[in-house]
Amino acid sequence: MMADVQYNLGEILVQEGILSSNELEEVFEKARSRELSLEETLFKLGYISRDRLGSLLAKAYQCEFIDLYSIRISNDAVGAVPVETATRLRVLPYALDGETLFVALAAPSSEAALREVVAQLEHASDKKVRVAFCNPDPLREMLRRFYKTLDDVVPPAQQELGVIINSIKSETGDLSLRAQFEELYDLGQTALIGARSHPFSRSVAGAIEEARTRLVNSRKYAESGFEEEALHMAQQAVSLLKEASEKADSVERDWEKLVQQVKSLRGQIGSLEQNGAAQYAASEFKELAEIRDALLECVNERNADRLRSLLDQGMILIEKVGLLSPDRDRGREQVIATLAQVRAVIARARKIGAKDYAPDKLKQAYDSLDRAEACARFGRWDEVRECLSMAEAEALEAEAIALRVVEERKQLTLKLREVTSSATAVLEEAMAHPFAQEVIGDLISAKDAISEAKACLETDEHERGIGLAEHAANRVREEIIPRADEARRAWNDLFRRANEASALMHSIDMPLALAVAPEKMELLFRTERAIVGSLCERDREKLAEAVSACERLLEETQSCIGSLKAGLRQAEDALKETTGLFMSVVSSGIDGSVASAYAEAWRLLEQARSSFAHGDVSSALNSAEAARTKLQAEVVEPQQSGRAKWSELIPHPVRLLRDVDATCSRDAFHYCPDAVHALRGHVTDLLDALGMRDSQRLQACITAVEQELRSVRDAVEAARAERYRSITEQLAEVSEAVQTAVERCSGSYAPDMLEGAYLELSRIQEHVAAGPQALTATLEAGLMRDLAVARTKVWQVEFLRERFERERQEDLNQLRLKMEAARETIDAYERLEFVGETSPLVQKARALLEQADGLLIEGDLDGSFELVRQSQATADEIQGEAEQGRKQWKELVESLITDKAPHVSVLSNPDAVKLVPDMHQELSDLAERTRSIVETKNIEALKEHYDALARLSDSIGILIKASKEGEQTRTERVIRDAIQELRLATLLKADDFCPDVVNAARAYLDLARTYLHARDFARAESAAYDAHAKASDASTLAQAASERACNLATEYMKIAAAQIEQQQFDTARASLERGLTLAHLAQPTRQKEESALSQT
């Protein structure tokens, strides 16, 4: 149904002569491309007014069109429809006649929608409803007036925009940042198109351009990976576009009032002109005449802001002209000066914000000024001066209040910037703390608070921003930094305890500790490894647990060793004493009679040694004492008598036993225990032979002991050499690992650990340098422990290096991405107009990126990051430079293409061609060259040509002004030409096709005659030329309309012929009637020509 209505409306527009067929197709195309209705597109393109469009739609729907301002609204009719229904359907009942309710509404989108509205109204009111169409703007005003609870009726576009925004906000929790941005970006593009197509978009051009810039920047941020900033910027752009649409709608609502003010002002200017204001106030009236012409331009361009400004200027000039009237008293000059001064003070106060900060005072100043103007009309100059004085005082007070508020806001802004800078410095100091990682969560929250405080600069929430920044700074200074210091003290205390525990472990007698408490020593070694691991992981809790456990185990181990040391020394003394006694007995020989006793005593001695080796002090003491007692009582004493006999045999076995005792040391037990046990077996046989005093057996045993002793010595040396080689290989491996770590790290990562490992290796090398002969079991255990510690430190350094290298690589990748984004941004900005490669800012940005590359090669990532940030800031300045150049270029081009350009009036002036043809040709050539320069977009050259045009135009104007002879004859000729052209237009029935243009031509012709009688030849000639141009346009339009009517008539005739052939006679009759109507419309009539000539 909607398609049918649009087709009927388009046909009506063509029949009414509002649009041609081509223009109608163009409107349809624009409506489809912008997704607008046909009616809205017609209005936005300025082809038709809302009232005219409403009347045509009413005609299409066979309804009445009414003006709500000109009818009386019945309260009974308003009460017949519930408030909710009226506001929901946006209808206004205006009359009630019995059971018939008359309702006004804006034209619906389709006939089905109209039927639906009528059905709902009849159901709600229980009456028969008759519908009339009206203008939507008065309808909104009337709805607000009669339904007090109704807020401003939001336009459908804004309703749709608000619904989309709310839906996006409700779906924020379910979408990713990228999806949210794409939704908002599409919404912003749609809103931008709607705002630009608004008929009053000029009044919000700045906001629309700002929103467009923010949308473009948001897309760049999103493509660079800054999705959160892009989303925030897109939200700001959508908000700006929403506010711009609301402001444009407000301007549209106030447009009719402004037009009425324009009509009133033009009437006042005409009245002043009739009273001779051009003679007694020439300069002021000249400005008024310019304002009068400019008002029409603003109305045609729908420039509301400039229109208000011109209205204000016109009212001021009218007051000045009125005060300059000859009928005024002598005090009018002083009053004029005072009035201008007061106006300037009020304007100055408004400029600095008195309208927002001191509206009451400003209103009082305006009221006083109005009273002064009222008194001036009656010539009461004393009262005028008093009112002007009051107005000036109130305006000055408003200005002082505004200045004070502005200064306070400025101070708050400065304070906020200082506080945020101080807070940022404190935060950076805290971030540089060596133990900042311990409080990183609080530091991030403080950073977010400072960022929020900085954002308050844009939202003008200065006090809130100051509070946030100060609270964040105090928190960092009073809470976070002390906690970091406390963490440093705790770590230092743990380091000290760990070092003390390590030193205490090194001081323990390892062989004794391993013999007495091997389980605890194993636990100690585990806790030491746990300490090293927690240091590598920087886990303070694990380190504290490991250090505490190590200290506890050390204390337990020392208590065990301390309680056994005294007993061990006593047992060792007892063993030495018993062994010495045995040595003396063996050296003296053993008789067979005491061999069994000696063997028993020796068994007890071996048992004591075994108990001593296992740490059983009491058993060792008892066994040693028993062995000594038995040996003394049953062996030594009985043999004393035979010592002399054996004295010759004893020295060699004694020496051999001493060698055995020296050979069977702790190192021998450690390296080759089996060989030592075998040697001890042969020694036992030797002692048995000595005890039995068997010379032959003694000799055999000595030989076996000597062979076994040599075998044990060789085995010990071989085992010691093998252990020495293993230690040397491990030392070389760890040394190589340390050297590799030094080469990789270059002293950058954990230099203390590398130095500690190096010192450990140096100490090990000192011990190893003595050769394998100096290697003992205790030394071997210490060296293996030192190698393990050095290896652990090397592993820790490698772990830190790998982590630091990984973090550095991540920073490097991020830096490269930022540099690439900066290069792309600079390349994009370089391609902008008015920038180019020679721009100093482009060269500066590229130089910064080259310096960043240099610092990146040198390894200075922080410096490179800073230079990239500076290059991005410089890129933003490049965009500003491009915008500034574009603005200057636009101003120059607009000043060149406008009718007020210095050369346009000269080139269009026929006097210039006649009087100074050479200079006119030179000006024309210069203008042509200027247009070619416009295409090249060379600002400097354009400025030079613009100045040259101005100078040459001034020179030509002076020459033309100097020769005014024959202007009357020329003006009369131009008027005759205009009359002739108007006669031709009348002959072509222009009164039917374009009456507005014909009336304008006649008005210009009357104006030319008026100026001619007033001997103002320049204006008369200009008006005559305008009349000629309008008449020529009317002739052209009438001829085109006639041709179009003829063509349409021919087409209808062809259609009728085809329909007759198809025997569609009714349709053919309608087509013939339309064709005849159009043919009659295209035929000139002599009667209309004569009537038009009489009017002329």
Q: What are phi and psi of 129, to 5 degrees?
A: -115, 130
DSSP code string of 673-687? HHHHHHHHHHHHHHH
What integer pLDDT is reported at residue 472 of this predicted model?
Answer: 84
* Residue 535 pLDDT exceeds 60: yes
What domain range includes position 836? 809-893
Residues 193 and 128 occupy one common structural domain: no
- Asked if pLDDT for residue 664 goes beyond 50, the answer is yes
Q: Say if residue 845 is in the same domain as residue 798.
A: no
**Residue 323: pLDDT band with limits 50, 70, 90:** low
Is 175 part of a structural domain of the chain? Answer: yes
Query: pLDDT confidence of 1081, banded at 50, 70, 90?
Result: low
Which neighbouring-strand residues pair with 102? 95, 130
User: What are the tens digits of pLDDT across the range 15-70?
Assistant: 777 788 777 887 777 777 666 667 777 766 667 777 777 787 787 788 898 888 77
Question: Buried b vs exposed e over 447-484: b needs ≥16 C-beta within 10 Å?
Answer: bebbeebbebeeeebbeebbbbbbebbebbbeebbebb
Q: How many Cα atoms sit within 13 Å of 264 on the Cβ side?
A: 10
Whether residue 728 is contained in a domain is answered as yes
- Decide if 836 contacts 576 (C-beta within 8 A): no
Beta bridge partners of 468: none
Strands 100-105 and 128-133, bridge-based pairing: parallel
The full DSSP string for 717-782 is HHHHHHHHHHHHHHHHHHHHHHHHHHHHHTT-S-HHHHHHHHHHHHHHHHHHTT-GGG--HHHHHH
pLDDT at residue number 180:
80
CA atoms within 13 A on the CB side of 345: 24
Residues 6+ apart with CB under 8 A from 295: 262, 265, 266, 307, 310, 311, 314
Name, of 24-38, 764-778, 872-886, the range with top average pLDDT: 872-886
Mean pLDDT value across residues 738-744: 71
The answer to whether the CB of 24 falls within 8 A of the CB of 10 is: yes
Compute the Cα dihedral for 506, 511, 513, 517 and give only its sign.
positive
Mean pLDDT, residues 777-787 taken together = 76
14 and 132, same structural domain? yes
Q: Give strand pairing partners of 128.
A: 100
- Taking only the tens place, the pLDDT of each residue in 613-645 is 666 667 777 777 777 777 777 666 666 655 555
Question: What is the SS3 assignment for 826?
Answer: helix
Residue 925, judged by CB atoms within 10 A of its CB (0-12, 13-18, 19+), counts as exposed
Question: For residue 118, how many other CB atoms are within 10 A of its CB?
Answer: 19
In one-letter notation, the amino acid at residue 382 is D
Token output for 159: 């309703």
Task: Evaluate if pTM is beyond 0.85.
Answer: no
Are residues 15 and 141 located together in one domain of the fold?
A: yes
Same domain, residue pair 739 and 785: yes
Tell me which of 636 and 249 has the higher pLDDT: 249
- Per the document, the length of the chain is 1096
**Which one of 852, 871, 893 terminates a domain?**
893
Angle at 190 between CA 184 and CA 193, to 5 degrees: 140
Q: Which of 364-368, 760-764, 810-814, 979-983 has the lowest mean pLDDT?
A: 760-764
Q: CATH no. for residue 22?
A: 3.30.300.160
pLDDT at 331 > cutoff 60: no
Residues 6+ apart with CB under 8 A from 190: none
Q: Please, which residues have CB within 8 angstroms of residue 483's CB and are 6 or more apart in sequence?
A: 438, 439, 442
5 contacts: CB under 8 Å, gap ≥ 6: 60, 61, 110, 111
Q: Name the more confident of 310 and 830.
A: 310
Residue 939 lies in a domain: no
- State residue 151's pLDDT score: 42
Query: What are the tens digits of pLDDT across the range 559-612?
Result: 766 655 555 566 666 666 667 766 766 665 556 666 677 777 777 777 776 776
Q: How far is CA 866 from the centre of its chain?
A: 18
- Say yes or no: 134 and 14 in one domain: yes
pLDDT for the residue 1087: 39
pLDDT of 457 over the 80 cut? no
Q: Are residues 183 and 203 in the same domain?
A: yes
Q: What is the pLDDT of residue 132?
A: 93
With 90 as the cut, is the pLDDT of residue 102 above it? yes
pLDDT of amino acid 130? 92
State mean pLDDT over 1059-1067.
75
pLDDT for 882 beyond 80:
no
Asked if the model's pLDDT at residue 208 lies above 50, the reply is yes
In a domain, 829, yes or no: yes
Phi-psi region of 225 (alpha: psi -120 to 50; beta: other; left: phi over 0): left
Q: What is the pLDDT of residues 130-183, one digit of tens each?
A: 999 988 878 887 888 787 544 444 443 344 334 444 444 444 443 467 778 887
CA dihedral 626, 629, 631, 632 (to 10 degrees): 170
Question: pLDDT-based confidence at 427, cuts 50/70/90?
Answer: confident
When pLDDT is cut at 50, 70 and 90, the band that residue 1054 belongs to is confident
Indicate the range of 111-120, 802-811, 827-836 predicted with least confidence.
Answer: 827-836
Summary mean pLDDT of the chain: 74
In angstroms, rounded to a whole number, what is the distance separating the alpha carbons of residues 893 and 933?
Answer: 10
Answer yes or no: do 33 and 123 share one domain. Answer: yes
Q: Which of 1044, 1011, 1043, 1014 is nearest to 1026 (CA)?
A: 1011
Radius of gyration of the CA atoms of the chain, in A: 56
On whether the CB atoms of residues 867 and 855 are closer than 8 A, the answer is yes
Q: Name the amino acid, one letter, at 683.
A: V
With cut-offs at 50, 70 and 90, classify the pLDDT of residue 1089: very low
The H or E element spanning position 101 is strand 100-105
Which DSSP string do the residues of 144-213 spell out, in sequence order?
HHH-TT--PPPPHHHHHHHHHHHHHHHTGGGS-HHHHHHHHHHHHHHHHHHHHTSTTGGGGHHHHHHHHH
CA 46 to chain centre: 39
pLDDT at 162: 42
Does residue 126 lie within any of the structural domains?
Answer: yes
Q: Look at residue 330 in the predicted model and tell me its pLDDT.
A: 46
Distances (CA, A) of 434 to 386, 484, 679, 746: 74, 8, 63, 21
In a domain, 409, yes or no: no
Residues 772 and 836 in one domain: no
Of the three residues 802, 834, 856, the one that is the final residue of a domain is 802
In this structure, the number of other CB atoms found within 10 A of the CB of residue 831 comes to: 11
The number of beta carbons lying within 10 Å of the beta carbon of residue 731 is: 19
**Cα–Cα nearest to 1090, from 1003, 991, 977, 972:** 991
Percent of the chain with pLDDT over 90: 1
Give a yes or no: residue 902 inside a domain.
no
**Mapping DSSP to helix (H, G, I), strand (E, B) and coil, where does residue 616 land?**
coil
According to DSSP, the residues that pair with 471 across neighbouring strands are: none
Final residue in a domain of this structure, among 771, 802, 833: 802
Beta carbons within 10 angstroms of residue 84's beta carbon: 11
Domain count, the chain: 4
Question: Does one domain contain both 738 and 840?
Answer: no
- Which pLDDT tens digit goes with each residue over 288-307? 888 888 887 777 777 777 77
Across 358-385, average pLDDT: 75
pLDDT tens sequence across 460-491:
777 888 888 888 888 888 888 888 888 788 87
For the segment 256-271, the average pLDDT, to the nearest whole number, is 79
Does 56 reside within a domain?
yes
Residue 551 scores a pLDDT above 50: yes
Please check whether residues 28 and 77 belong to one and the same domain.
yes
Residue 302's region, left for phi above 0, alpha for psi from -120 to 50, else beta, is left
> Which structure tokens are listed for 908?
């269009």
First vs last Cα of the chain: how many Å apart?
Answer: 49
Q: What 8-state DSSP symbol labels residue 73?
A: P
Res 1086: pLDDT: 40
Same domain, 24 and 65: yes
Distance CA 395, CA 368 (A): 10
63 secondary structure, DSSP code: -
**Phi and psi based region of residue 747 (left: phi greater than 0; alpha: psi -120 to 50; beta: remaining):** left
CB 915 within 8 A of CB 963: yes
